[in-house]
Amino acid sequence: MPNILEYAEIWTGALDQQAVQVATSGWMEANAAQIQYVGGKKVKVPTMLTTGLGDYTRGTGAANRGKYAKGTVELKYEDYELEADRSAEFAFDRHDVDETAFIVQAPTVMGVFQRENVVPELDAYRYSKIAQLVMALGSAAFKSENLTDATILEAFLGQIRAMQNKTGVGTDNLVATMPFSVWSLLEIAAKKAMQLLPQTFTQGNLQFEVNSVNGIPIIPVVESRMKTAYTFHDGTTKLGFEPATGAKSINWIIQPRHLPIAISKTDNLKIFTPDINQAGDDWLIQYRKYHDLWMLNNQLDQVVLSVKAS
């Protein structure tokens, strides 16, 4: 039987995996595969630079062979800090485990907490940060508009074509994320235009079928997670998060699958038994998660963003 420390390590890995598979933005974490997690808030992000082309020098024979221009490859890791440092603590009486027929246990509590609180916050943080980056850039692929069933398909495809005309990004690498209310309009319009097809989508270790429009997979999201800005409460008077004052609703974010780099780490999960916990006769769970999202500034013009005008 694993001791309590080993259980904590197992649960930490399980919670991180659950965040990838349950969060609608979980697919973004695949792009963090090359990031080195140092511990705490520290990560190292790789950057690769290569030189360009030069002329090939033809040779005159075996003794004087042709020569290629000498290129160089530079790989370096830059230090970054994860911006979000979040935490929670839960305590339940020693006898709660027996009196609730084993419903209140550490894995059960943390599983519900992950699904109901952590995952929605991860989604909201990531989508709002992408929106803020694109809006700050002033990208031509950003629109503020009110959509209707008559205009939504033209707006959706038109914005993608405008971005492609500038960047050359193919539709086979794009992912579209939008709230269910917007998806319901686009789904009807795409069906009428016969542009709605099923498509396999991979996220973490899961493969599932989603609908696609013009070959672009659509990921519907709960509307409360798709705002342009949020207030993430510090826990002194209020917990969780909520839309910030003046935040706008996002119609959709369409972006290349390789572009957003998301990382989340349950850096420390402490579990104290009632015998160890000196503050009371309780089981005590202390949870801490670091997470963040980055995007390369020189590729932000590949992101299509639409928000509601009012």
Question: 195-247: per-residue pLDDT in tens?
Answer: 999 888 887 667 878 899 999 999 999 999 999 999 999 999 999 999 999 99
- In this prediction, residue 2 has a pLDDT band, given cuts at 50, 70 and 90, of very low
pLDDT exceeds cutoff 60 at 94: yes
SS3 call for 60: coil
In this prediction, residue 131 has a pLDDT band, given cuts at 50, 70 and 90, of: very high
Q: Which regions of 15-65 does DSSP assign to beta strands (E)?
A: 36-39, 42-50
Domain boundaries, the chain: 4-52+67-307
Is residue 40 within 8 A of residue 294, CB to CB? The reply is no
Residue type at 190 in one-letter notation: A
Q: What pLDDT, on the 0 to 100 scale, is given for residue 19?
A: 45
| Contact (CB, 8 A) for 48 and 77 | no
Going by pLDDT thresholds of 50, 70 and 90, the confidence category of residue 4 is: very low
Please give the Cα distance from 118 to 288 (Å, whole number).
11
pLDDT at 204: 67
Q: How do beta strands 36-39 and 282-294 pair? A: unpaired
Average pLDDT over residues 51-78: 80
